[in-house]
Amino acid sequence: MTWSEITEALEHLNQPVYWYIASALVVLALILVYLVRRQPRHVVAYTTENGRVMVSRSAIVELVQTSCNQISDVSKPQVKIKVKGKVTHFDVGVKLQTGGRLRSVEETLQKHLRHALTENLGIEDLGRINIVATGFKSGRIDSSDLQQASLPDPTLEAYQDAEDAETERT
């Protein structure tokens, strides 16, 4: 196939009908992406014989924010809710304060959120609660404090401990 044959075949696509079809496909694709990625307005907490009990997204966000505000090392929580089948999963993005340890914050927040979501809001089919560190918020640094305080070097301490253990063996 030569270049002229290719351009001749593509000239048929210049007709308005093909432009309308392409535009409709793009709009349909954008609508499908929006429907798949949007956050649910309500989450089913549990179902009874009389009907479903639902919790609004804003109630869940408020609960997560108050839970995060109770932990001093966490600020600016963001919540993403994903419902897969009957199971509800959460992604909680937080900023850690200076000195906050992600592992301890994660354990505390996981336990607190799981308890609050099941006990307070009654969400029975609770899936994963993923904690995502979105950033770090540092306090003000005073240069005079840095000059006065020298931070210990943990590698030096480990080296000295190894030397002390070696001298004790001999």
Is residue 84 situated within a structural domain? yes
Closest CA to 64 of 47, 77, 54: 77
Residue 45 or 113, more confident? 113
pTM check: above 0.85: no
91 and 74: one domain? yes
| Choice between 20 and 73, residue whose per-residue pLDDT is larger | 20
Residue 64, judged by CB atoms within 10 A of its CB (0-12, 13-18, 19+), counts as buried
Task: Tell me the CATH number at 133.
Answer: 3.30.70.1350
Pair (62, 121) in one structural domain: yes
Residue 133: give the domain boundaries. 42-137
The string of pLDDT tens digits covering residues 36-92 is 666 667 777 777 888 888 888 888 888 888 888 888 778 788 888 888 888 888 888
Of 33-42, 81-90, 140-149, 154-163, which has the strongest mean pLDDT?
Answer: 81-90
Across the chain, what does the average pLDDT equal? 77
